[in-house]
């Protein structure tokens, strides 16, 4: 509508400007037919081909029926051709352009017959068609960019949802390992406490100290995890806020709250303390290391610690074992973690199966091992007695060996 009004204003100028005595008169019939040629432009986007045909017909009718004031440019036909070039498919656009250009020489011949007018008319109609094609290309490019942006947004949203699911699973594993181990050790120590009070008071004191230490350690780890979750939530809320109010609220929160205590993730250096706490409940634990130990990544060390922790938790809760053997074997390309107990194994009909024994714990062990490309095997211990958990975690080759193998 706006373009039609603008062109209507342009074609009205010759009718309102004073004219010389030798020029054709600017009468109302001529103005009405000129307006009739502009009116179809209102629907140019809906039916570009029909509008171009209507405009050309009105201009030809104007030329042969009325001798009114001419126009400096064929505004209506130029806009109609531009719209066809911008919106119509090639099977319609090309014939329409050829037909329009074919009408230019006869129209110039009926007007002035001047070669300069012919060249100028061909130029402006060619420019209208070219601008229409440029507009089509720009719109197609913009649509492609918007579609790509929408696809990236969907991909980012899906990846964010997957990352959230992975993080929730990781937090669930961590909390399960912490709480399950701590509660199991505390229950065993608490059950052994009354017996120790009657038979060996010095052992009762050690049992209560083990309960206290285990509880404090679990509280510290849970506070660390919950503190990190709280920090992430507050950071997300502050990122969504804007303006000066966000600045004042951030400073007030920082002054009012104290950051939670931070501790590194457990590593292999924490294994002796873990074994000592579990062994204080009366379980005999044999811990051996085979092969040549070498530095591991923090993630791998945490995985090893959690695997041993969960295995000991299952032994304490379900195996009714008297002794456990923990073996860490460093191989050429992998670390094998083996935990074997002499309790009731999977073959015992009165005891639970390995999957029900471990519950989420065995699932967490499998997930931790899979995160490092490792494998998990479970089954009865030696001679079919007890239960055996074997986890294999691949390790990168030492630099010297890697160079030697590449050279060979």
Q: How do strand 323-330 and strand 334-341 relate by DSSP bridges?
A: antiparallel
Q: How confident is the model at residue 8 (pLDDT cuts 50, 70, 90)?
A: confident
Residue 275 falls inside a structural domain: yes
| Pairs from 238-243 (Cβ < 8 Å, separation ≥ 24) | none
Top pLDDT among 21 and 365 is at 365
User: Lowest mean pLDDT: which of 30-44, 135-149, 293-307, 383-397?
Assistant: 30-44
- pLDDT score of 399: 56
Buried b (16+ CB within 10 A) or exposed e, 211-244: bebbeebbeebeebeebeeeeeeeeeeeeeeeee
257 inside domain: no
pLDDT band of 76, cuts 50, 70, 90: confident
Look at residues 113, 144, 179 and tell me which one is the last residue of a structural domain. Answer: 113
74 by DSSP, 3-state: which? coil
Residue 166 · residue 123 · CB < 8 Å: no
Q: CATH number, domain at 360?
A: 3.30.565.10
The domain boundary, picked from 85, 113, 141, lies at 113
Name the domain count of the chain: 2
Q: What is the spatial distance between Cα 64 and Cα 68, in angstroms, rounded to a whole number? A: 11
Residue 227 located in a structural domain: no
Give a yes or no: residue 163 inside a domain.
no
Is the pLDDT at 199 greater than 80? The verdict is no
| Last residue within a domain, chosen from 113, 133, 164 | 113
Domain residue limits at 303: 268-405
Q: At what angle do helices 115-199 and 75-87 cross, to 10 degrees?
A: 40
In a domain, 379, yes or no: yes
For residue 247, the model assigns a pLDDT of 45
- For range 248-276, the mean pLDDT: 62
| pLDDT band, residue 363 (cuts 50/70/90) | confident
In terms of C-beta distances under 8 Å and separation of at least 24 residues, what long-range contacts does 322-327 make, across chains too?
322/283, 322/284, 323/283, 323/284, 323/285, 323/286, 324/283, 324/284, 324/285, 324/286, 325/285, 325/286, 325/288, 326/275, 326/285, 326/286, 326/287, 326/288, 327/288, 327/289, 327/290
Residue 138 lies in a domain: no
Q: pLDDT tens digits for 92-123?
A: 889 888 988 888 888 778 777 788 888 888 89
The verdict on residue 183 lying in a domain is no
366-372 mean pLDDT: 85
Instruction: State yes or no: pLDDT of 186 exceeds 70.
Output: yes
Q: Copy the structure tokens of residue 189.
A: 């120590």
97 belongs to a structural domain: yes
pLDDT tens per residue across span 59-71:
888 777 776 676 7
**Does 233 have pLDDT greater than 60?**
no
pLDDT at 390: 93
- In the predicted model, what is the mean pLDDT of the chain? 77
């Amino acid at each position: 509508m706006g373009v039609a009004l603008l062109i209507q204003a342009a074609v009205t100028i010759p009718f309102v400007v004073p004219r010389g005595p030798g020029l054709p008169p600017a009468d109302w019939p001529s103005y009405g037919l000129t307006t009739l040629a502009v009116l179809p432009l209102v629907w140019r986007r809906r039916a570009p081909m029909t509008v171009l045909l209507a405009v050309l017909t009105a201009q030809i009718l104007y030329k042969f029926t009325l001798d009114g004031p001419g126009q400096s440019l064929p505004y209506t036909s130029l806009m109609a051709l531009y719209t066809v070039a911008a919106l119509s498919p090639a099977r319609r656009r090309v014939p329409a352009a050829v037909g329009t250009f074919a009408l230019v020489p006869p129209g110039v011949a009926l007007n002035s017959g001047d070669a300069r007018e012919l060249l100028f008319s061909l130029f402006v109609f060619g420019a209208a068609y070219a601008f229409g094609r440029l507009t089509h290309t720009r719109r197609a490019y913009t649509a492609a960019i918007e579609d790509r942006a929408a696809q990236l947004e969907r991909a980012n949203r899906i990846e964010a949802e997957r990352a959230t699911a992975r993080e929730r699973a990781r937090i669930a594993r961590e909390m399960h390992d912490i709480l399950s181990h701590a509660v199991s050790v505390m229950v065993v120590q608490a059950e052994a406490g009354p017996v120790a009070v009657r038979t060996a008071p010095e052992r009762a004191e050690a049992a209560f100290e083990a309960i206290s230490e285990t509880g404090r350690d679990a509280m510290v780890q849970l506070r660390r995890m919950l503190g990190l979750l709280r920090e992430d939530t507050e950071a997300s809320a502050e990122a969504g806020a804007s303006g000066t109010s966000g600045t004042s609220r951030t400073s007030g929160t920082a002054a009012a709250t104290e950051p939670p205590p931070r501790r590194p993730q457990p590593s292999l250096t924490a294994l002796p303390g873990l074994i000592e706490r579990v062994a204080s409940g009366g379980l005999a634990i044999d811990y051996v290391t085979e092969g040549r130990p070498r530095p591991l990544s923090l993630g791998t060390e945490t995985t090893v610690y959690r695997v041993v922790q969960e295995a000991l938790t299952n032994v304490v809760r379900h195996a009714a074992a008297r002794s456990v053997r923990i073996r860490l074997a460093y191989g050429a390309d992998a670390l094998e973690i083996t935990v074997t107990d002499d309790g009731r194994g999977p073959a015992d009909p009165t005891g639970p199966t390995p999957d029900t024994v471990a519950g989420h714990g065995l699932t967490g062990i499998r997930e931790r091992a899979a995160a490092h490309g490792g494998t998990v095997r479970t089954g009865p211990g030696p001679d079919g007695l007890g239960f055996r958990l074997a986890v294999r975690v691949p390790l990168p080759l030492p630099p010297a060996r890697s160079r030697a193998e590449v050279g060979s």
